Amino acid sequence: MSLQTMTYLVVGFTFALYIGIALWARAGSTKEFYVAGGGVHPVANGMATAADWMSAASFISMAGMIAFMGYGGSVFLMGWTGGFVLLAMLLAPYLRKFGKFTVPEFIGDRYYSRTARIVAVLCLIIASVTYVIGQMKGIGVAFSRFIEVDYNTGLLVGMGIVFVYAVLGGMKGITYTQIVQYVVLIFAYTIPAIFISLNITGNPIPQLGLGASVVNGDTYFLDRLDQVVTELGFAEYTTQARLSTLNMVAYTLSLMIGTAGLPHVIIRFFTVPKVKDARSSAGWALVFIAILYTTAPAVGAMARLNLMETIKPSGGENLVYDERPDWFKKWEGTGLLKFEDKNGDGRIQYSAKADTNEMVTVDNDIMVLANPEIARLPNWVIALVAAGGLAAALSTAAGLLLAISSAISHDLLKGVFMPNITEKQELNASRIAMAGAILVAGYLGFNPPDFAAGTVALAFGLAASSIFPALMMGIFDKRINKEGAIAGMIAGIGVTLLYVFQHTGIMFVASTAFLGDMKPNWFLGIEPNAFGVVGAIVNFGVAYAVSRVTQAPPVHVQEMVESIRMPAGASAAHAH
Amino acid sequence: MAFKSKEDAKAYWSENIRLMLVLMVIWFVVSFGCGILFVDELNAIRIGGYKLGFWFAQQGSIYAFVALIFVYAKKMGDLDRKYGVEEK
């Protein structure tokens, strides 16, 4: 069977599954729409959270970034997993005990303020919308590369699928599709990794293969990789740091705090029956995430070696351009791989020096997508990778869209503007909000703004500097009041946005970067993407100081804090 | 269901905070400590092909995070029962 037919079959089958689940898991109440009825098993929720969390970026881009950043890529590995420890210990159980539907709702109640709730809604919407653009692009790209329909058609099909199961099923439909999507994506990620690890090291477990020796020889794989890259003038793979130690610490910490503060992840913990389940569910989520995240370093490193050795086999001559393999030609066609014969010898030279390097473009994303072809794996594996990439993008998009639509229908409409609507009306409103969110996200996917590439950093920066500190202090410090929380959130976001924009341009329009994207101008040498943690520290400091000089929160709020600190008496998530 | 006394509520919360701080210290040491701050020193030690610091940064810290959450969930369950505030 041709690769084309096989891909249609595998992707078509997974899509049929998602639609089937949508029809089976229709939401009949707001509780089902917002929190899947509150009865999701902690292990099932862990799996859904893993799919929710792992986006097109985790699936497609991360291993490629690690392949080229080496040790420096560890900031993503630690940052995007370590946040779950913070989530499990600092937020999830308490927010579950609070027992309502959305993150802004907690902030509104805890800080007895509509203003705080609206500020939180704004932060949530900005963070989630910027994040969803990347997923929409991922869907379009995956379709266009694997199914060979054009980007727009692919995006339209993707939007249609999300529309069916998210609008009909809400959180209930999303939860069950995310579980299936996790299974699809984890097989799609690990199967090629196992084959490649077997090829290179003879060890079928990639996590062990990375530390094993290569098949034909007694050198360790990582030593071989270090040797191959340094010979060509690249930094040593296992020690290549990202800028400075301080920058690595700040980057990792920003990603951790941002992870714990992203609303679409937090609301997943509202769906489990008990506080106890929220704690263990975070652990299960991380187990399922760790399967991919501990495989990724092996995928990245092995893909790097494969690429280098295809171009220059050890002890052999550089590859003759006319004899390049098929996958090389295929990816040249996409523009993600580009060769320029600078010295005119018809062979490919790959080196760290810009004037002699002839591999002028090697896109990060190729590493995962081309891996199965480089390793000559069977067609069904390549088809599975296509379905896996789509599953990763769809599941994250759906989670984000739910966070956005519930903030609009539950926090803005029901909470602020039209408190008297019935449950039935609210359910309809949430469906309309969902449909609207999908259309907006789709529009931004069709016309990706110039700033799309920088927006994930913005989403993490906002979550880290506004949402996380407000939630954490609301639970751990009874004295934090309305004035402190609002001032803290605004100061935190303000500092982060100012820093990101002054170095990368206002809304990432480069010409407006008034301080320039230059290292000498960076505060303590911290890159803009790593600045969320500084915003968070400012938020904590301002909120603490302002609260101490203004009036203490009312008694009923202090009692509420007392009650969320104690697991007993948790009821299922409810509206009032 | 509630605490038997104000003292109980205080004691429960401070035991919770103590547990959390211990686990957060471990969280910090396995990731920021072993993976970043002391990575060069640890890289002198090797397990198979892995330099130890590199292993912590790309593998070990993640395994430790998983273990930390389950230890926390287990210990908090015990604490809830000790003070009689577990969910029925």
User: Cβ B88–A245 below 8 Å, yes or no?
Assistant: no
Residue type, A530: A
DSSP for A142-202, please give it.
HHHHHT---HHHHHHHHHHHHIIIIIHHHHHHHHHHHHHHHHHHHHHHHHHHHHHHHHHHS
Would the CB atoms of A85 and B73 count as touching at under 8 Å? no
Q: Is A71 on the interface with B (CB under 8 A)?
A: yes
Per residue in A385-414, is it b (16+ CB within 10 Å) or e — as a string? bbbbbbbbbbbbbbbbbbbbbbbbbbbbbb
Q: From CA B42, how far away is CA B34, in angstroms rounded?
A: 7
Q: What is the ipTM of this complex?
A: 0.97
| Token couple for A124 | 């949530």
**Do residue B3 and residue A280 have CB atoms under 8 angstroms apart?**
no
> Packing angle between helix A114-146 and helix A455-462, nearest 10 degrees?
150
Q: Which residue in this structure is represented by tokens 């092996």? A: A298
Q: What are phi and psi of A213, to 5 degrees?
A: -95, 160
Q: Per the structure block, which two tokens stand in for A550?
A: 């203004």
Mutation target among A45, A54, A62, A71 for the B interface, most CBs of B within 10 A: A71
d(CA A27, CA A104): 22
Q: How are beta strands A337-339 and B46-47 bridged, if at all?
A: unpaired
DSSP β-bridge partners for residue A339? A359
Using a CB-CB cut-off of 8 Å, the residues of chain A touching B59 are 207, 210, 294, 297
DSSP per position, A493-549? HHHHHHHHHHHH-GGG-GGG-TT-S-GGGSGGG--GGGTHHHHHHHHHHHHHHHHHH
In A, which residues are within 8 Å of B86 by CB distance? 276, 567-568
Burial of residue A192 (number of CB atoms within 10 Å: 0-12, 13-18, 19+) = buried
Contact yes or no for B57 and A249 at CB 8 A = no
CB A101 within 8 A of CB A399: no
Please tell me the distance from the alpha carbon of residue A104 to that of residue A115, in angstroms, as a whole number. 10
- Within 10 angstroms of residue A339's Cβ, the number of other Cβ atoms is 19
Q: Nearest residue of A to residue B31 by CA position? A: A78
Flag if A568 and B73 touch (Cβ within 8 Å): no
Q: Which residues pair with A361 in a beta bridge?
A: A338
Contact state of A276 with B77 under an 8 Å Cβ cutoff: yes
Q: Are A325 and A355 in contact (CB under 8 A)?
A: no
| Cα–Cα distance measured from residue A6 to residue A382, given in angstroms and rounded to the nearest whole number | 9
Find residue A320's DSSP bridge partners: A347
Distance from CA of B80 to the nearest CA of A (A): 7
Measured between CA atoms, the residue of chain B closest to residue A286 is B66
DSSP SS3 for A355:
coil
Q: Nearest C-alpha of chain B: how many angstroms from A291?
A: 10
Angstrom distance (rounded) from CA A360 to CA A106: 50
Is B66–A210 a contact, with Cβ atoms under 8 angstroms apart?
no
Of B2, B58, B86, the CB nearest to A297: B58
Nearest CA in chain B to A248: B36
Please answer yes or no on whether B2 and A211 come within 8 Å at the CB atom: no
Residue by residue, what is the 3-state secondary structure of A112-123?
Answer: CCHHHHHHHHHH
Query: Pairing relation of β-strands A337-339 and A359-362?
Result: antiparallel
d(CA A157, CA A134): 16
Say if residues A10 and A386 touch (Cβ distance below 8 Å).
Answer: yes
* CA distance, residue A246 to nearest chain B CA (Å): 9
Query: Is A338 exposed, middle or buried (CB count within 10 Å of its CB: 0-12, 13-18, 19+)?
Result: middle
Greatest CA separation found in chain B? Answer: 56
Search chain A and give the residue with CA nearest B64. Answer: A82
Q: A residues 214-273 near B, CB within 8 Å? A: 220-223, 238-239, 245, 248-249, 252-253
CA distances from A306 to A298, A370, A373, A418 (A): 12, 11, 11, 60
pLDDT digits (tens, 9 = 90+) for A262-309: 999 999 999 999 999 999 999 999 999 999 999 999 999 999 998 888
Which residue in the block uniquely carries the two structure tokens 């099909």?
A157
8 Å CB contact of B73 and A276: yes
Please identify among residues 378-437 of chain A the ones whose CB lies closer than 8 Å to any CB of chain B: none
Integer CA distances (angstroms), A246 to A243, B35, B40, in order:
8, 13, 14
Nearest to A67 by CA among A240, A247, A187, A200: A240
Query: Tens-of-pLDDT digits for all 576 residues of chain A?
Result: 788 888 889 999 999 999 898 888 888 899 999 999 998 999 999 999 999 999 888 888 899 999 999 999 999 999 999 999 999 999 999 999 998 899 999 999 999 999 999 989 988 988 888 888 878 888 887 777 777 778 888 889 888 888 888 898 899 999 999 999 999 999 999 999 999 999 999 999 999 999 999 998 889 999 999 999 999 999 999 999 887 999 999 999 999 999 999 999 999 999 999 999 999 999 999 999 999 999 999 999 999 998 888 888 877 889 999 999 888 888 887 777 899 999 999 999 998 988 889 999 888 878 888 888 877 888 888 889 989 999 999 999 999 999 999 999 999 999 989 999 999 999 999 999 999 999 988 888 887 765 555 567 678 888 999 999 999 999 999 999 999 999 999 999 899 888 887 776 665 555 666 655 556 667 777 888 888 999 999 999 999 999 999 999 999 999 999 999 999 875 545 544
For chain B, say whether A186 makes contact (Cβ under 8 Å).
Answer: no
Q: Terminus-to-terminus CA distance in chain B, angstroms?
A: 9
Give residue limits of the domains in chain B: 25-88
Dig out the tokens for A389 from the structure: 């990439």
Query: Which of A45, A53, A85 has the most B C-beta neighbours within 10 Å, making it the best mutation to test the interface with B?
Result: A85
